Structure 1
Amino acid sequence: MTTQLEHCEILPPPAEVTHELTLPLTFFDVPWLCFHPIQRLLFYEFPYSKAYFLETIVPNLKDSLSLTLKHYIPLASNILYPASNEKPFLRHVVGDSLSLTIAESNEDFDSLIANYARDADQFYPFVPQLPPPKEEPEYKTFPVFCVQVTFFPSHGVCIGFTNHHAIGDASSIVGFIKAWASISKFRGDSQLIDAKSLPLFDRYVIKDPRGVGDLYWDQLKNLSLQFPPSHLPINKVRATYILHQADIKKLKDSVLARKPDLVQPSSFVVTIAYVWTCLVKSGPASGEEVDADELEYFGFAVDCRARLNPPVPASYFGNCLGALIVKIKHKELMANEGFFIAAEAIAEIIRMKVNKDEMVKVAENLLGDFHEVIGKRILSVAGSPKFDLYDADYGWGRPKKLEAVSIDGDGSMSLCKSRDSEGSLEIGLSLPKKKMDAFAAIFASGLGILSKEVFYSD
């Protein structure tokens, strides 16, 4: 059972915010208005008493969170939807705050940080819920960010984050989480300032000469953009799989042996191709019936910051993503060469599209890509090995486990660096139990007999 101990509102330091801040939503932000909130959990070992947690840790977390908001004002803001149906925008006024919940749980901490399959429903008590929107005479206001800190007596702490995707992409949100961790650990923001890692909010670095943002809003403004809290039960289990560096090398070598003309495949390419084909092949064992000619989709986001012309600074806070989509017939992924077909297709679209000449076109088609995959069989990716949340140390050590809870509802897999193994990758899945069992068997056996044809047989 999980019990709320306290709920409070955290404001930036009063002296730092003396006037209203408004930021327009760019064409990178607008498509995410209709996307569900993003939910992340970081679990930390913390073998200390409740008194120490409440008297020492909680005050420091509150103070450091307030100081972090000094540099990340948009996270203590609201997205405003004008009653006139004009394009929404972000606004912070004096007194706006971020919702923080402090809770206590007696759930099995060791089970929660394990890799084996666990009931996905048991993670939701640690996920903060965005406050409901408010109706004002001229606007409807949507909060964009909230935090929950849950204490497990003598075992651990979980910090949960929920954000509206329109406020920022993974690069932005991870930047905030690491900044808060640094300020909490070092009791101040001097290291953050010295490292010149403060976020940039200037929307003028995003060029939109064709007015794509307004075109996007014209397509979205009549949709319902309010998402209810997650409903339980979801009837899924969550599990984590590790692809060790040696496994990744075997996958790369096997691709190059079959596709010698392919440019050296990356760890990302072979990991995604392997997970994708394992998931497709696990379908029959879990009772799925799919037409042989039905398309399977794989979609993934690409950070456009360094790939636009002119480039956008790496510290830019907001969304700056394009999407790439690979389409392959179901029967091809089920066939002997499925893994190699997937790897080649993913590598090829990256080669063709991830460059400065193509990324603007990719970015400007984001909403069209969303529309294309609605109702389709799609696997997408949440997270990236580029954003290492296992570095987020609040003063009591590195996290023991990262869980991307929002993959429960959108058909994604999570992907990040492995916590304990250099060069390895950590994959998170949320599936019905029968499919998870089938996937686990195929994933393990495929790695065990990587060089044999039996893995690639129908």
Structure 2
Amino acid sequence: MTTVIETCRIPPPQGAAAELFLPLSFFDMMWLHFNTTRRLIFYNHPCSEAEFFNTIVPNLKHSLSLTLKHYLLVAANLLYPLDTDASKPVFRYVSGDSVSLTIAVSGLDFNELVADHARESDQFYYLLPRTPTMSEEESYQIVPLISLQATLFPGRGICIGLNNHHSLGDGRSIFGFMKAWATINKSGDDEVFVSRNSESLPVFERPFCKDSSRIDGMYWEAMKKKPFKPASSHPLPTNRVRASFILRQSDIKKLKNLILSAKPGLVRVSSFVVAVAYVWTTLAKSCAGDKDDMFIFGADARGRRNALFDPPVPVNYFGNCLGGGVARVEHWKLASEDGFVVAAEAIVDEMNSKIHDGDGFLKARKIC
């Protein structure tokens, strides 16, 4: 149903920096053994195959190359040492490195894929690029950090799929790269992108704090004990479905009112809090359990002045920069009639002690 037409390599343009060499920070190291992160972005853009191949694809390739000039790390590789006692992992870009871009055409039902109702999960995986293959050189395993795929649904739309190693960056970084690519593709060159972001182009130098060396060493000692394996390729969750559930503004308001009527003294009851509390309790009520349930959430560490980072990590930093917290509630309380309020209170308490408290942020960060 989905046919691959071409797989090519897109390098940064001539004139881009010739080399980039960066050690991983502890923010990056914790993701070394995770599977790749996969995302699909659908665009409602009816076009013919002729327009797609003659105009859209050449523009995508050209704009991707220009984008890589500003996001050089995306075209780099992760070098993981074969002798983990002698070396640490690093990111390396050298002239000639590139990003894999796959071009495909699909006969799947575009409307079905972008709908909200339950639909088969398996079909989405055909829109993702293949997981990059590891190789070896002398003392390192070489891991490409990202691959991309553009899939045409003739007469209906286009899907951009991306597959990236999490050590490359968190969601803010990856979507920043994708937005830059979209801006440059729309304008045809990188002048508009640069003019809009002249003072906030991505920064790649790994964040440094007064305790960086010790903390990086602690994380590496933990990470290197686990075998470094290639990411799994396209596991299909057969016999499962995917659906979207929408909480409208009116729904959010009702949920907030429920919490505030039960806990009038609770502060910072945000839309995030009520949405995840609602989902968490719904999941708890759908399955059995006799222990504590945990809700783990991430939080952006950029721009936060705290015990570790003073001055703070710049907001235009590209990479991983996440703290977070863990809310715990006994399962029976979550599944009870008042479970929603209990969940919201637990999340708010954890956020107040771990996120909103500058001195507490990142202090409780655990080594995986």
Deviations 1:328-383 (A, max 9, x none): 11100011110000000101111111132111314xx242xx4xxxxxxxxxxxxx
**Which residue of structure 2 aligns with residue 45 of structure 1?**
44
For the pair 1:118 / 2:119, whether they are aligned, the reply is yes
Q: How big is the alpha-carbon RMSD for the aligned residues of Structure 1 and Structure 2?
A: 1.3
**Which residue of structure 2 aligns with residue 243 of structure 1?**
247
Separation in structure 2 between the aligned mates of residue 167 and residue 208 of structure 1, nearest angstrom: 22
For the pair 1:297 / 2:294, whether they are aligned, the reply is yes
Residues 76 and 97 in structure 1, CA contact (< 8 A), matched pair in contact too: yes
Aligned-pair distance for 1:210? 5.5
SS at match of 1:148: strand
Deviations 1:401-450 (A, max 9, x none): xxxxxxxxxxxxxxxxxxxxxxxxxxxxxxxxxxxxxxxxxxxxxxxxxx
**Which residue of structure 2 aligns with residue 11 of structure 1?**
11
For the pair 1:140 / 2:136, whether they are aligned, the reply is no
Distance 1:239 1:172, change over 3 A: same
Deviations 1:265-306 (A, max 9, x none): 0000011001110111122xxxxx422xx1111001010112
Aligned ranges 1:5-404 → 2 under 5 Å: 5-18=5-18, 20-85=19-84, 86-196=87-197, 197-209=200-212, 211-226=214-229, 227-283=231-287, 289-291=288-290, 294-308=291-305, 309-354=310-355, 355-362=357-364, 365-367=365-367, 370=368
Aligned-pair distance for 1:235? 3.1
Moved more, 217-226 or 102-111: 217-226
SS at match of 1:159: strand
SS at match of 1:241: coil
Moved more, 306-315 or 240-249: 306-315
Distance 1:146 1:207, change over 3 A: farther
Aligned-pair distance for 1:230? 2.7
Distance 1:207 1:198, change over 3 A: farther
**Which residue of structure 2 aligns with residue 397 of structure 1?**
none
TM (norm. structure 1) is 0.76
Residues 203 and 317 in structure 2, CA contact (< 8 A), matched pair in contact too: yes
SS at match of 1:243: coil
Residues 207 and 313 in structure 2, CA contact (< 8 A), matched pair in contact too: no
Deviations 1:14-36 (A, max 9, x none): 22133x21011001110011111
Separation in structure 1 between the aligned mates of residue 71 and residue 191 of structure 2, nearest angstrom: 15
Deviations 1:238-288 (A, max 9, x none): 1111110011011001100000111140000011001110111122xxxxx
Separation in structure 1 between the aligned mates of residue 131 and residue 94 of structure 2, nearest angstrom: 18
Separation in structure 2 between the aligned mates of residue 279 and residue 233 of structure 1, nearest angstrom: 19
Residues 299 and 325 in structure 1, CA contact (< 8 A), matched pair in contact too: yes
The structure that is helix-richer by fraction is 1
Deviations 1:53-77 (A, max 9, x none): 0000000000000000000011111
Residues 31 and 216 in structure 1, CA contact (< 8 A), matched pair in contact too: yes
Separation in structure 1 between the aligned mates of residue 116 and residue 300 of structure 2, nearest angstrom: 28
TM (norm. structure 2) is 0.94
Moved more, 311-320 or 353-362: 353-362
Q: Give 1:218's aligned amino acid.
A: E
Q: Give 1:111's aligned amino acid.
A: E
Residues 9 and 100 in structure 2, CA contact (< 8 A), matched pair in contact too: yes
Aligned-pair distance for 1:215? 1.0
Aligned-pair distance for 1:225? 2.7
SS at match of 2:38: strand
Distance 1:180 1:207, change over 3 A: farther
Residues 25 and 207 in structure 2, CA contact (< 8 A), matched pair in contact too: no
Separation in structure 2 between the aligned mates of residue 228 and residue 209 of structure 1, nearest angstrom: 31
Distance 1:17 1:264, change over 3 A: closer
Separation in structure 1 between the aligned mates of residue 191 and residue 225 of structure 2, nearest angstrom: 46
Aligned-pair distance for 1:121? 0.8
Aligned-pair distance for 1:206? 5.0
Residues 130 and 143 in structure 1, CA contact (< 8 A), matched pair in contact too: no
Q: Give 1:117's aligned amino acid.
A: A
Residues 354 and 362 in structure 2, CA contact (< 8 A), matched pair in contact too: no
Moved more, 129-138 or 248-257: 129-138
Report % sequence identity. 48
SS at match of 1:336: coil
**Which residue of structure 2 aligns with residue 438 of structure 1?**
none
**Which residue of structure 2 aligns with residue 435 of structure 1?**
none
Aligned-pair distance for 1:177? 0.3
SS at match of 1:100: strand
Gaps of 5+ in 1: 284-288, 371-458
Separation in structure 1 between the aligned mates of residue 69 and residue 284 of structure 2, nearest angstrom: 46
> Between Structure 1 and Structure 2, how many residues are aligned?
358
Aligned-pair distance for 1:84? 2.1
**Which residue of structure 2 aligns with residue 415 of structure 1?**
none
Residues 278 and 340 in structure 2, CA contact (< 8 A), matched pair in contact too: yes
